[in-house]
Amino acid sequence: MTPLPQETIARKRDGEALNADEIGGFVAGITSGAVNDAQAAAFAMAVFFRNMSLDERIALTLAMRDSGRVLDWSDLDGPAIDKHSTGGVGDNVSLMLAPILAACGTYVPMISGRGLGHTGGTLDKFDAIPGYMTNPDIETLRRVVKSVGCAIIGQTDDLAPADRRLYSIRDVTATVENISLITASILSKKLAAGLEALILDVKTGSGAFMKTREESISLAESLSAVANGAGMKTGALITDMNEPLASAAGNWLEVKNAIDFLTGAHRDARLEEVTLGLCAHALVLGGMALDEDDARLRAKVALDSGKAADKFFAMCNALGSWHDLARYAPEPAPIVRDVFPTESGHIRSIDTRGVGMAVVVLGGGRTNPADTIDYQVGFDRLIGLGAKIDPQTPIARIHARDEAKAQEAEARLRKAYAIGDAPPSHPVVYDYIAPQGGK
């Protein structure tokens, strides 16, 4: 006998453990509409306060995966691998990682999202590329992945539809920040993509959703345990977000930064460390390398040889871009100028969230889902922690649409940069959470 939605809600409200059938029935109701918005919100709030065990998290993740289509890549001659980041500022890693892995012989069907709050979204970056289709159908995804080796697109309507509905309800009911619900939301989409292996980039610091290292480790351990328990080999890196990862923040500016990275014109050191670290662990998880050292060497060869850049350009062309992106330069924003500090010293700390919000003020992010993105605005030449500066040394270059927005964004950027004594050095990669659990 299938329990009524209110019975399932009541059991979780009272702190009882739900079984797979109860969770599966409730998720099926979310998908079909048999569970209304009020009931879905009540369920999310009950989970928020009572949380879920590992078995419950796995059951919820699998039920949301199975609410729609699950892709099958068994006809490929290599593993299907992907990466997920919890989000940050200047985090354009996906643009390099997917073609590097493809150049190493793996296949990367990457289902990405748009910006959330102060963080930039991978899809928004690709929307800055003229002609690029971020929402093709599944058949196009399969064709590009098979022919090129990688494709970065948005979530389609038939992949994990229960997650789409539940997330929209959580977003307006103050139930987003729960590890059980975050875990199921992230992994249901990745499992629906039919991956063999997944590497997670869990950020920590002033520009991350998880501010402390302990919170980030807890989320990484939950994601790893549930993903492996659901049959997808998964590990996680804990990486630093106490400063922007790239020296650019803003959609086209981050695309240009990624193209420069792939072609060797310019590579930010911290960005290279995170990108190659994630690639190395992904290759090991996918059985494409003996160990991390071997995998990192393979990734570096793919990058330095130009093969990864070729994969990136081929992916963009296969998904609709008609430009020679190695030479393409869009019309710049009307205002482009340096931003200078008002005092001398070292960059002691950076409110990275503040940098992201300055990009939003410029129009490079959204304050509500209906907002239109301005792809040309943002910052480049951002300097990092520890740099010595003075009022004649710029901390960034701003790209703005109008003077009022430029002035507000400049003020926000200066406020985000604290100047004083040089800070102690810290790593960009803190920890690796090896695959946990599993079947």
Q: 358-414: per-residue pLDDT in tens? A: 999 999 987 766 678 899 999 999 999 999 999 999 999 999 999 999 999 999 999
Q: Give me the pLDDT at residue 120, please.
A: 67
Q: Which candidate in 50, 57, 65, 84 is catalytic?
A: 84
Say whether both 321 and 343 belong to one domain: no
State yes or no: is 122 an active-site residue. yes
Per residue in 154-210, pLDDT (tens digit) is 888 888 999 989 988 887 788 888 989 989 998 999 999 999 999 999 999 988 878
Does the residue 267 lie in any domain?
Answer: yes
Does the residue 111 lie in any domain?
Answer: yes
Does the residue 58 lie in any domain?
Answer: no
Say whether both 132 and 194 belong to one domain: yes
Say whether both 359 and 210 belong to one domain: no
Does the residue 69 lie in any domain?
Answer: no
**Using H for helix, E for strand and C for coil, what is the string for the chain?**
CCCCHHHHHHHHHCCCCCCHHHHHHHHHHHHHCCCCHHHHHHHHHHHHHHCCCHHHHHHHHHHHHCCCCCCCCCCCCCCEEEEEECCCCCCCHHHHHHHHHHHCCCEEEEEECCCECCECCHHHHHHCCCCCCCCCCHHHHHHHHHHHCEEEEECCCCCCHHHHHHHHHHHCCCCCCCHHHHHHHHHHHHHHCCCCEEEEEEEECCCCCCCCHHHHHHHHHHHHHHHHHCCCEEEEEEEECCCCCCCCECHHHHHHHHHHHHHCCCCCHHHHHHHHHHHHHHHHHCCCCCCHHHHHHHHHHHHHCCHHHHHHHHHHHHCCCCCCCCCCCCCCCCEEEEECCCCCEEEEEECHHHHHHHHHHHHHCCCCCCCCCCCCCEEECCCCCCCEECCCCCCEEEEECCHHHHHHHHHHHHHHEEEECCCCCCCCEEEEECCCCCC
Per residue in 64-103, pLDDT (tens digit) is 999 999 999 999 999 999 999 988 899 999 999 999 999 9
Q: Give me the pLDDT at residue 207, please.
A: 83
Say whether both 301 and 356 belong to one domain: no
Does the residue 63 lie in any domain?
Answer: no
State yes or no: is 82 an active-site residue. yes
Q: How does the average pLDDT of the chain come out, rounded? A: 93
Per residue in 257-308, pLDDT (tens digit) is 999 999 999 999 999 999 999 999 999 999 999 999 999 999 999 999 999 9
Say whether both 231 and 349 belong to one domain: no
Work out the average pLDDT over 206-223. Answer: 88
Q: Give me the pLDDT at residue 6, please.
A: 96
State yes or no: is 84 an active-site residue. yes
Say whether both 228 and 87 belong to one domain: yes
Say whether both 14 and 120 belong to one domain: no
Say whether both 276 and 364 belong to one domain: no
Q: What percent of the chain has pLDDT over 70?
A: 97
pTM of the shown model:
0.91
Say whether both 322 and 339 belong to one domain: no
Residue 153 pLDDT more than 60? yes
Residue 53 pLDDT more than 90? yes
Does the residue 22 lie in any domain?
Answer: yes
Per residue in 4-48, pLDDT (tens digit) is 999 999 999 999 999 999 999 999 999 999 999 999 999 999 999
Domain of 270 in residue numbering reads as 81-326+429-433
Q: What percent of the chain has pLDDT over 90?
A: 80
State yes or no: is 321 an active-site residue. no
Residue 118 pLDDT more than 70? no
Say whether both 306 and 381 belong to one domain: no
Total domains in the chain come to 3
Does the residue 400 lie in any domain?
Answer: yes
Q: Give me the pLDDT at residue 74, please.
A: 93
CATH number (domain holding residue 399): 3.90.1170.30
Q: Which candidate in 66, 82, 124, 163 is catalytic?
A: 82
Does the residue 57 lie in any domain?
Answer: no
Residue 439 pLDDT more than 60? no
Say whether both 167 and 235 belong to one domain: yes
Q: Which candidate in 94, 122, 204, 224 is catalytic?
A: 122
State yes or no: is 94 an active-site residue. no
CATH number (domain holding residue 111): 3.40.1030.10
Say whether both 166 and 313 belong to one domain: yes
State yes or no: is 212 an active-site residue. no
Q: Which candidate in 8, 185, 216, 222 is catalytic?
A: 185
State yes or no: is 397 an active-site residue. no
State yes or no: is 83 an active-site residue. yes
